[in-house]
């Protein structure tokens, strides 16, 4: 999109509908973008443009059809064999290929299977919870392979955030995008191609939230109108895990699950915004995906929604943009059509069960690494934004944005400040919601503040020259 901005006939206008949708998803869902008259061609689609008409067609879609008659061992063997084939195909290159490595099973399985010489890890200096470097170094010694790591300072994180949103083209409020920027930057100093573990969670059933429909199945036997009433009562109580369970199970899956992030409900975002738009509700955005899998179990429905929305709008967006920002090619061996064909056949009990998520895939990984990595609970990439937002320095940076001119144009700023203050005072963990709004305001500066934008243009011209 940033190339359009340079064009003399391009009119740079914010698409306010996209802003409203973004407040729920933390990324820009669907065909529209944050710029009026700029649209995305979704993955697995092609278009014909003829005589002034645009015809967009989908040419591929995942189809889950579980085969219940095969034992666990069969699936583990198939995963191992198919994944090895994919890794070997993704290693074909004229240059050296490395691998990212976190503490999780996905990147660990890639690193253990790929026979690379170098792995790359980043972390934060905010205690073990936010630092995966020790896990990565320990596994690298076992493989054995050389591990290059970097500890990201708060100053680096906050100081580069504007530039990162510029590279993103559209705002993405996933804090792990910043960590990904730095691991790509670290890797780019040594090589040009790395492998990464994206896609395993959506394909094999890895997110912790996928276990939710399987929890307390007896509760679902209560008639839905009663569950809905209980959920409405619970929504007025302080948010705790048991209360959240009642709230969520008081809604149909299609209303409560729009992907791995659900920042602001439709009602909340309308209160937060000064502007009025006709943006579709979160449920309307994901309805076409639910409609394709009406006959499937709840977990498969959630996976299907994530494959078509979350993975596209968040996971792969940040992998693509952050790697290219550092002139690094990222390859994703889990996202291979043969692996998808296999995963579509795996029964639910071998994807998600009481014991763990990605059950069969973890069993395959266990053949390459100890249980410490193969069985490790899904973490996501831990980023200490919730800690920083309680510190005066970073609280004040965000508060300045929340009370600034742009915030006043689009938001009820007293509500923004209350979200921030309640977080700082420990009344609620609002870190992700605060970060969602803050990200938009930082992004807006990059593309609608001419002084900043001209600075980028001059820097690019210098590099080109």
pLDDT digits (tens, 9 = 90+) for 260-288: 899 999 999 999 999 999 999 999 999 99
For the cut 80, the answer to whether the pLDDT of residue 127 exceeds it is no
Q: Where are the beta strands (DSSP E) in 184-223?
A: 193-195
Tokens of 232: 């409405």
The answer, yes or no, to whether residue 128 has pLDDT greater than 80, is no
DSSP secondary structure code for residue 274 in this structure: S
Helix (H) or strand (E) holding 331: strand 329-331
**Res. 206 pLDDT band, cuts 50 70 90:** very high
The neighbouring-strand residues paired with 193 are 97, 329
Mean pLDDT of the residues in the chain: 92
Distance from C-alpha of 345 to C-alpha of 33, rounded to nearest angstrom: 34
Closest CA to 440 of 114, 136, 73, 24: 24
| 4 pLDDT above the threshold of 50 | yes
| C-beta of residue 244 within 8 angstroms of C-beta of residue 262 | no
Give the strand order in the sheet containing 193-195: 146-152, 118-124, 97-100, 193-195, 329-331
Give the torsion sign (CA, 162, 166, 169, 175): negative
Q: What pLDDT shows up at residue 464?
A: 44
- Mean pLDDT within 67-74: 96
**Residue with tokens 């970060």, as numbered in its chain:** 435
CA atoms within 13 A on the CB side of 236: 4
Whether the per-residue pLDDT at 462 is higher than 70: the answer is no
Of all residues in the chain, what percent carry a pLDDT higher than 70? 97
d(CA 167, CA 182): 13
pLDDT for res 465: 40
Is 27 within 8 Å of 305 (Cβ atoms)?
A: no
Structure tokens at 407: 């915030």
The dihedral formed by the CA atoms of 414, 276, 450 and 319, expressed in degrees to the nearest 10:
90
């Amino acid at each position: 999109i940033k190339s359009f901005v340079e064009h003399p006939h391009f009119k740079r206008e914010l698409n306010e509908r996209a802003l409203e949708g973004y407040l729920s998803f933390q990324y820009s869902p669907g065909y529209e973008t944050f710029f009026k008259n700029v649209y995305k061609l979704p993955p697995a689609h092609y278009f014909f443009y003829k005589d002034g008409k645009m015809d967009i067609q989908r040419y591929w879609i995942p189809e889950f059809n579980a085969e219940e008659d095969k034992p666990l061992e069969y699936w583990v063997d198939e995963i191992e064999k198919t994944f090895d084939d994919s890794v070997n195909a993704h290693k074909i290159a004229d240059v050296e290929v490395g691998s990212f490595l976190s503490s999780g099973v996905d990147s660990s399985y890639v690193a253990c299977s790929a026979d690379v010489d170098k792995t790359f890890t980043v972390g934060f200096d905010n205690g073990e919870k936010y630092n995966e470097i020790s896990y990565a170094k320990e596994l690298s010694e076992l493989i054995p392979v050389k591990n290059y790591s970097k500890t990201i300072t708060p100053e680096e994180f906050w100081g580069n955030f504007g530039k990162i949103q510029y590279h993103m083209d559209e705002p993405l409020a996933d804090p792990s995008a910043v960590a990904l920027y730095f691991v790509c930057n670290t890797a780019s100093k040594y090589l040009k191609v790395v492998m990464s573990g994206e896609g395993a969670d959506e394909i094999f059933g890895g997110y912790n939230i996928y276990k939710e429909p399987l929890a307390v199945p007896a509760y679902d036997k209560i008639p839905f109108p009663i569950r809905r009433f209980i959920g409405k009562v619970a929504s007025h109580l302080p948010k705790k895990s048991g209360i959240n369970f009642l709230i969520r199970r008081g809604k149909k899956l299609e209303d409560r699950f729009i992907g791995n992030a659900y920042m602001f409900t439709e009602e909340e975002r309308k209160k937060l915004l000064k502007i009025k738009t006709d943006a579709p509700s979160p449920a309307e955005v994901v309805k076409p995906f639910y409609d394709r899998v009406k006959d499937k179990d709840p977990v498969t429905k959630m996976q299907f929604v994530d494959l078509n929305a979350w993975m596209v709008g968040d996971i792969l967006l940040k992998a693509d943009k952050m790697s290219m920002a550092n002139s690094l090619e990222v390859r994703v061996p889990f996202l291979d059509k043969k692996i998808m064909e296999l995963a579509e056949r795996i029964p639910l009990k071998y994807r998600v069960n009481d014991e763990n998520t990605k059950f069969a895939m973890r069993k395959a990984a266990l053949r390459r690494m100890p249980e410490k990595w193969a069985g490790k609970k899904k973490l996501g990439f831990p980023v200490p934004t919730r800690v920083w937002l309680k510190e005066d320095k970073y609280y004040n940076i965000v508060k300045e944005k929340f009370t600034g001119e742009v915030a006043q144009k689009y938001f009820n700023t007293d509500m923004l400040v209350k979200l921030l203050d309640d977080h700082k005072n420990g009344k609620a963990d609002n870190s992700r919601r605060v970060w969602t709004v803050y990200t938009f305001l930082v992004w807006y500066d990059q593309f609608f503040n001419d002084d900043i934008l001209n600075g980028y243009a001059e820097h690019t011209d210098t590099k080109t020259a």
